[in-house]
Amino acid sequence: MLLQVPSVRILLFLHEKGEVRYTDLTKLIASRGTLSLNIKDLEGEGLIYRRVVTTKPIQAHYSLTDKGKKIATQFDKLKKTL
């Protein structure tokens, strides 16, 4: 199903939760390779934003861009319709 594709799951998760840490996303997508690939693709498309906090250890936080919010809203509507 379309809504089970990792990149769509990430968009819907960020739409629901707002800004999350990388570790939160690892609970959503078990394979770190799949997660990293999808995050890079979503960043490259301008759908998500990565914010790095230079604490020890370094933390990465992810959130939706305006473009990502528009698309995630449409996926959320589709999810509620199904």
Domain boundaries, the chain: 2-69
pLDDT in tens, 41-65: 999 999 999 999 998 899 999 999 9
DSSP assigned state of 55 = S
pTM equals: 0.92
The listed CATH number (2.60.40.10, 2.40.50.100, 3.40.50.9100, 1.10.10.10) that belongs to domain 2-69? 1.10.10.10
CB 77 within 8 A of CB 20: no
Report d(CA 14, CA 25) in Å as an integer: 9
For residue 82, the model assigns a pLDDT of 80
Percent of the chain's residues with pLDDT above 70: 98
For residue 1, the model assigns a pLDDT of 61
Residue 66 has pLDDT above 80, yes or no: yes
- Mean pLDDT over 24-52 rounds to 95
